[in-house]
Amino acid sequence: MKRNVRKDRMLRKGFTLVELLIVLAILVMLAAFAVPKLFDVLKNAKVNTAKTQVKTFTDTLDLYATNSGGDYPTTEDGLNALVQQPEDFPETGTWSQLMPSIPVDPWNSPYQYALDESTGSPHVWSYGPDKQDGTEDDIKSWKDEEEGGDNVSDGATTEPANAASQNKSNTDVSGGKAGSSSTPPAVTN
């Protein structure tokens, strides 16, 4: 009795082991290309989030300085001055809660703040993905003179509108003036 090979194949359901292995190999190759790209996208998203938050802090600190008569929070008061009124807030100023709370950076570390006493500029930064201060992945609100600076500056000034009458020098959002130190004086959040 002669069998019809074509009919046997049509009656058989499913895939051969070779066919399944070929499909699996193709899927593994696609995943090998896609997964690293996905991690790069996630890392860039976290860096962009941190840059946006640092910029938001500097803008909010400008508003604080406007309300306080031109003074930024001290290093000791830190970013908490945006949430609760510092004890040394000027009586002539008008304090208001500018943020409901201070968020942590995308890597679950607190944002850092220091007032540069030499320029009167606020410095806000995140330690970045490595969670270590002073490394090249830190996200800062000021430019390092020697680096040429990748920061969150948009060319605006950090001085409040009424600070010009107090003989303060203007600096960019980065807080860095030519010749100024790239390291803030102290760390407080």
Can you give the residue ranges of every domain in the chain? 17-166
Nearest alpha carbon to residue 121 among 160, 156, 72: 72
pLDDT at 79: 95
First to last CA, the chain: 88
pLDDT of residue 148: 56
What's the token pair of residue 58? 């500097």
The pLDDT score that the predictor gives to residue 182 is 47
For the full predicted model, state whether its pTM sits above 0.85: no
What integer pLDDT is reported at residue 155 of this predicted model? 39
Which pLDDT does position 24 carry in this prediction?
96
Other CB atoms within a 10 A radius of the CB of residue 30 amount to: 10
> What is the mean pLDDT for each group of 10 consecutive residues in the chain (189 residues)?
62 84 95 89 93 96 92 93 90 88 95 93 94 92 68 43 34 35 48
> Which fold does the domain 17-166 belong to in CATH?
Glycoprotein, Type 4 Pilin (3.30.700)
